Each structure stands twice: as C-alpha cells, then as structure tokens.
Amino acid sequence: MAASSPTRSRTPAHSGRARQRSTGAPIGFGALIGAVLSAATVGALVLSGMAPVGPPVAEVVPEVVVPQQTPDPAPTEVPGSWARESLALEPPMGWNSWNQVNCDGLNESVVKAAADSIVARGLDKAGYEYVVVDDCFQAGRDAAGTLLVDPGRFPSGMKAVADYVHSLGLKFGIYAVPGSVTCGNYWSKYPVRGIGSLGHEAQDIALFVEWGVDFLKYDWCRAHINDRLDPASSFVLIDTVIKQSGRPIVLSISEYGDYAPWTWAPGVANMWRTTHDIHPYWVSILKHINLQAPLAGTSKPGAWNDPDMLQIGNGGISMNETRTHFAMWCMLAAPLFLGTDIAALPEETIGILTNPELLAIDKDRLGIQAARVSDVGGLQTWMRPLADGGYAVAFFNTNAAATTMSATLANLGIPAGSYTLRDATAQTDLGAATDTLSAPVNPHGTVVLTLHPTA
Ligand code: GAL
C-alpha cells in the first residue's frame, strides 16, 4: 500500500527507535512506518540526542504522563483520492486563538467574535478564511476514549461553533498533539490530562470530521521525551489517518523547525513551523525573519514553511514594524494567521493586512520563498521571482535610523533589461527601472518593489 503511495515515498527516515514505548516495546503501527520508509532513507534523520523542543521559556517541567494507551490500529489503506500537496495551493490564511488569548482566555465567544470580525472587517474577501481553535478547549476523555470539550468554555459544543464559522462562509480548524501531553499542559499549566491523540489518532480524526474540521494544527510538544515518539513517523501517521477519513483536512504541523521539516514534510503536511514561538515584540519578529534566510527555495504550493503566526495587533509593535512583519511574511510565502482582537484593529492595520499587492506576492503561484541576497550593516535585500515573469524585491531596514537603500539588477540576480517599477507596500507607480533600484526605508521598515519587464 504505502510503498506505492506518492505521498509516502517522499517520507523521510527515522532513527529506527521511533515510536517505541518507554518499555522499549515496538508499537502497533511499526509495520506501517516500516513500509513507508525505504531502507535507503533509514538513518537519514537521526532524531536521538536532539535538543528538547518547546518554547524556550521556563525549564520547570510538570509531571510527565506516560500513557497506558496503545496507538490506534495502523491504517491499512489510504482511500483518499487527493494528494496532500493538492490542498493549500496558496499559503493558508485566517485567525488562530493562541496569540490572542493563549490558554486561559479561550472560549467560544472569542472564537465566534473572531469569525464575525473577519467578515465585518472585510478580511474574508482578502483570503482570511480559517478560524482555528488552538490548545485548551479539551476536557479529558470519556470511558470510550472520545475527546471531550470543556463545557464551561464551549457551552454550545465544538460542532455548533464549527457550524457557526461555516455559516459565515469561513472554514474551521482545531488543535491536537501526537503525544500524551499538549503544550498547554506544560507551558500554561492546563490541568486536564489525557487529551493528546496518542492511541486515539483515528478516533480523534473521526471526531474532527464529525465536527466539520477543515484544518488541523498538530503540535509536537515534547512527544520525543514524554512518549518516545519521533516526529516524522508521527506526522506521517496522522496524514495517513486523515486521508483514510476521506476529508481533505489541511495539515499544519509544528515541531518548531528542530528536525528540518522542510526536508521531509512536503507531501506529509501542508505547512510546518520553522521556528519556536513568535512573541509580540520586535526582537522576536526580526529573529524569525533571519531564521528564514537559509530556507529559500524549500517551499512550494501545498507545502509551506511557516515562520509562525502573525503578532500584528499585539504588544509593542510599532506601525513600521507591523508593516515589516506583514511584508516579509508575504515575501516568505508564509501562512498568514492573525492572533489578535480583529474588531479592535485600527483601519490602518486592516489596510496593511489587506494590501492586495503584497497578498498577491504571498499567494504567487510559483510559491517561491524569497531569498536574502544581501545583508550589510543591518540593511537586508530579499528577492523572489513571480509567476508572471516579474520580481518582488524587499528593502528591509533592521536599523533604528531611516535610510535609503539601493541595489542593482545584477546584485539582485535579475536579468538586465527595462522594467516597470511599483512600490507594492505603498501601492504606487515608480516609473521605469533599468539598472539601480532605490527607496527610502523607515527605521525597522520594509519597502517591497515589484518589477515587470517592459513589453
Ligand atoms: C506551542 C505552539 C503555539 C501554541 C501552543 C499551545 O507549542 O507553538 O503556537 O499552539 O503550543 O499550547
């Protein structure tokens, strides 16, 4: 089965110790994993001995639950007629609860209000379509193992919330983890245990299908430590279970970029985190941009690098920094997930988030993430080719003083010729360019220029 599946043939290897219990006993779907991993690739992804994953905050780790469950039986076939890469042909966009309310503030009113605001502020027309409930909605499991939803936080139940989101023409997403413990259990002291999907993979996906889930965020949360799982095979398993369900659920995985997912996740997931968590301040945004520089060329339609969700609207991010955050995420072909109170955003921010020229770059059908072509004295220049024969160039000033930035076509790797030039950030024409591009750039600001060959 799996050997002939195009999705599985690109799956990377694992250490061979993967998905074993603390007892050392191999777990039930070893045959599946064995079948999908060719001998040639076994050993290529050695996960043992790697640094712990999870947000780099407090190192005090709560009690670890070693689950007694066994994983659901291995899927024996993948009947889905869709390939993973056929979903999310553009970087997914929407809202996710985490950056707005974290764990403690999650409830159905917040989620429904976000959906309402997406429509009321016209964000749906710009492509923001997924409304994703992140961690901390769970209330344990019943005797049959079915995942329960916290009735205090979601009194109407999750299906009703999903129906509400769908009634607005939007799509609904949910959060789960491959191991026994969610990140909220660790980092937010969410007390409800037994809510991970380990041993309940097919049961959870069946429930999500019943709710009408369109998008799943599947978050690692130290499962290599707690449960001795390995990321690649855990994510292959959930991709397989989703396919077996028949519902084309977009799969967003998160192991924080610790295991080079861009080398093995295409075909398994539609997007994968390349970093640990983003925070609502400049240093974090800058760090996340810098971390993407080595990853140019590793994303494509249906398979996106995810430098984490937007923090626009949160914390102490200035308007220049807001513009940079958005413009650079578009240059990077990144998924765009808001995590803020959309109703409270100023009109100026809505204008940034709906800039059609930047969004067109993000969604460009070549799906080529920008490459950083120079980085001198805090002045960075990035470039990506576009499907219509044009190019997008970002002048990104990481410094605290305004400056004028410039680059020649040769510096940028753009063929010599005559081009019409536009400032995509300001949405204004800049005339013709034949050799040198230049633009004034604000402190912590970004100007994105587009070039199209003159006919
Ligand atoms: C983190 C993840 C966050 C959020 C949180 C939930 O690991 O990176 O985006 O999902 O877990 O507990």
**pLDDT averaged per 10 residues, the chain (length 455):** 28 30 29 31 29 35 41 49 92 98 98 99 98 98 98 98 98 98 96 97 98 98 96 97 96 98 97 98 98 96 98 96 99 98 98 98 98 98 98 98 98 96 98 95 98 93
What are 264's two structure tokens? 């093995």
Q: Which among 273, 296, 327 is the end of a domain?
A: 273
Rounded CA gap, 243 and 246, in Å? 5
Q: What separation in Å is there between the alpha carbon of 114 and the centre of ligand 1?
A: 19
Does residue 167 sit within a domain? Answer: yes
Does residue 26 sit within a domain? Answer: yes
Rounded CA gap, 50 and 224, in Å? 9
pLDDT at 78: 54
Answer yes or no: 239 catalytic.
no
Measured from the CB, is residue 219 less than 6 Å from ligand 1? Answer: yes
Same domain, 264 and 375: no
Answer yes or no: 116 catalytic.
no
Question: How many domains is the chain built from?
Answer: 2
Q: Which among 245, 273, 301 is the end of a domain?
A: 273
Rounded CA gap, 369 and 274, in Å? 13
Does residue 410 sit within a domain? Answer: yes
Rounded CA gap, 249 and 85, in Å? 12
Does residue 436 sit within a domain? Answer: yes
What are 148's two structure tokens? 């329960």
Measured from the CB, is residue 329 less than 6 Å from ligand 1? Answer: no
Q: Which among 230, 246, 273 is the end of a domain?
A: 273
pLDDT at 394: 99
Q: Which residues of 394-411 are buried (b: 16+ CB within 10 A; e: fewer)?
A: bbbbbeeeebebebebee
pLDDT at 12: 31
Does residue 317 sit within a domain? Answer: no
Across-strand partners of 266?
269
Nearest atom within ligand 1 for CA of residue 254:
8
Same domain, 268 and 377: no
106 HSE (CA, 13 A, CB side): 27
CB atoms within 10 A of CB 376: 8
Rounded CA gap, 433 and 406, in Å? 12
pLDDT at 35: 32
Please check whether residue 253 is in contact with residue 168, taking contact to mean a CB–CB distance below 8 angstroms.
no
Nearest atom within ligand 1 for CA of residue 219:
7
Q: What separation in Å is there between the alpha carbon of 134 and the centre of ligand 1?
A: 8
What are 321's two structure tokens? 């920094």
Query: Three-class SS of residue 93?
Result: strand
pLDDT at 82: 85
pLDDT at 80: 57
Same domain, 18 and 145: yes
CATH of the domain at 429: 2.60.40.1180
Q: What separation in Å is there between the alpha carbon of 428 and the centre of ligand 1?
A: 38
Q: Which residues of 175-198 are buried (b: 16+ CB within 10 A; e: fewer)?
A: bbbbbbbbbbbbbeebebbbbbbb
CATH of the domain at 221: 3.20.20.70
Nearest atom within ligand 1 for CA of residue 309:
9
How much is the pTM?
0.86
Please check whether residue 310 is in contact with residue 329, taking contact to mean a CB–CB distance below 8 angstroms.
yes
Does residue 229 sit within a domain? Answer: yes
Measured from the CB, is residue 98 less than 6 Å from ligand 1? Answer: yes
Rounded CA gap, 185 and 107, in Å? 17
Rounded CA gap, 391 and 292, in Å? 19
Q: Residue 200's domain spans which residues?
A: 2-273
Rounded CA gap, 143 and 140, in Å? 10
Does residue 160 sit within a domain? Answer: yes
pLDDT at 21: 28
User: In a mutational test of the pocket of ligand 1, which residue from 95, 134, 314 has the highest number of ligand atoms less than 8 Å from its CB?
Assistant: 134
Rounded CA gap, 182 and 134, in Å? 11
What are 380's two structure tokens? 């960075």
Q: Nearest C-alpha to atom 11 of ligand 1 is from which residue?
A: 183
pLDDT at 81: 67
Does residue 279 sit within a domain? Answer: no
